[in-house]
Amino acid sequence: MTTTANPSRNGVDVATLFATLDAVKEQNEIATFQFRAENTWVSGTHSRSRYSGFYGAMQEMEHKHETVVDSDHPAVLVGQDNGPTPVEYLLHAIAACLTAGIANVAAARGVDLTNVSSSVEGDIDLLGIFGLHDGTVRNGYKGIKVTFRIEGDADDATLREIVEQSRSRSAVYDALTNPTPVSIEVVTG
């Protein structure tokens, strides 16, 4: 472990990472982003979202490639199982957000990682969404558990601090653990 910045440590361009932070410090408006998805119902519980554009760094931007993702319910929940359930995408989101942060924080601290993987479990009582309860069962997850396995050229305490720093700066961790306002507009035709 060294503290010398390496332009490609963990696949992270550390010099550009710090330059980006400096640019945002100079001009806070660069940090205003809007992410977007376009969803279309296919049939039954099956729908499909596309991601292409977003706003950030004071301009409209496009992802390098459009991404298409499907959701459905499995047969046991009366769907056709054409993709993971919507709630399963939350599990990917939290793992991916924490993992990206881990790679960035480790790179900034001069730690070379060799492996980061995680298992995510979300426990949910569907009595909530079925409405079959006396008001005591929530619709969403009772809890989500993320188990990380992390290896790199740093001691146990340092690796744990990297995960903790990632958690403390994670957008998805905040979005899930604290209330996020969601507004719904309806246009009928």
CB 175 within 8 A of CB 97: no
Taking the C-alpha atoms of residue 63 and residue 51, their distance in angstroms, rounded to an integer, is 8
Residue with tokens 């995680």: 118
> How far, CA to CA in Å, does 183 sit from each of 73, 93, 124, 166?
24, 20, 24, 28
Among 1, 2, 7, 174, binds a second copy (CB under 8 A): 174
Among residues 1, 2, 7, 121, the one that binds a second copy under rule CB under 8 A = 121
Binding mask 11-30 for a second copy (x = CB under 8 A): xxx--xx--xx--xx--x--
User: CA 171, 172, 177, 183 torsion: positive or negative?
Assistant: positive
DSSP letter (8 states) at residue 156: H
Tokens of 86: 């919507």
Q: Is 105 in the site for a second copy (CB under 8 A)?
A: no
> Is position 1 an interface residue for a second copy (rule: CB under 8 A)?
no
Q: How many residues would you count in the chain? A: 189
What's the min distance (Å) between Cβ of 162 and a second copy?
9
Contact 32, 56 (CB under 8 A): yes
Decide if residue 135 touches a second copy (CB under 8 A): no
**Choice from 98, 110, 111, 136 touching a second copy (CB under 8 A):** 98
Which of 4, 60, 134, 181 is close enough to bind a second copy by CB under 8 A?
A: 181
Decide: 116 and 154 in contact? Cβ < 8 Å. Answer: no
**Residue from 6, 69, 110, 153 binding a second copy (CB under 8 A):** 69
The least CB distance from residue 158 to a second copy, in Å, is 9
Listed residue (101, 139, 100, 136) closest to 122, CA to CA = 139
111 binds a second copy (CB under 8 A): no
Smallest separation, CB 110 to a second copy (Å): 16
Residue 55 CB, nearest distance to a second copy (Å)? Answer: 9
Q: Of these, 1, 2, 7, 160, which contacts a second copy (CB under 8 A)?
A: 160
Q: Which is nearer to a second copy, 4 or 180 (CB)?
A: 180
